[in-house]
Amino acid sequence: MHESLIVNRILEQVNKKANGKKAKSITIEVGDLAHLPANELHEFIKTMVDFEVIVESKKAMVKCECGFKGEPKILAHEHDLVLFECPKCGKTPKILSGEEIVLKEIITE
């Protein structure tokens, strides 16, 4: 279960950055092309903690050999599977951003 690894890494960062204080809230940014969809990450992590978890989605940006630069057309986004294409030509573009999962903010007591 790779979601356990992802969540454990996030929680390690929370503990490290909170400097011994108790977290009240965290904000996580999940790219549209991340391995774990934002809603799945949110559901999984909130069962493991007793503080507020805010998960924000971040639009992906791609660049295609046809010249297109922008958001990809996402065909499927399931657990550990993201299928996308260039909305202009249908080829697989290069990912510029949007596959990351980032701990953006920690609010402590």
Per-residue pLDDT tens for 63-86?
Answer: 999 999 999 999 998 877 899 999
Radius of gyration of the chain (CA): 16
Q: CB of 25 within 8 A of CB of 104?
A: no
User: Is the pLDDT assigned to residue 17 strictly greater than 80?
Assistant: yes
Domain carrying residue 33: 2-108
User: How many separate domains does the chain show?
Assistant: 1
Instruction: Kindly report the CATH number assigned to the domain that includes residue 28.
Output: 3.30.2320
Q: What is the pLDDT of residue 4?
A: 83
Q: 52-58 and 23-31 as β-strands: parallel, antiparallel, unpaired?
A: parallel
Q: What is the pLDDT of residue 91?
A: 97
pTM for the model stands at 0.86
- Cα 102-106-107 angle, rounded to 5 deg: 160
Q: How many residues belong to the chain?
A: 109
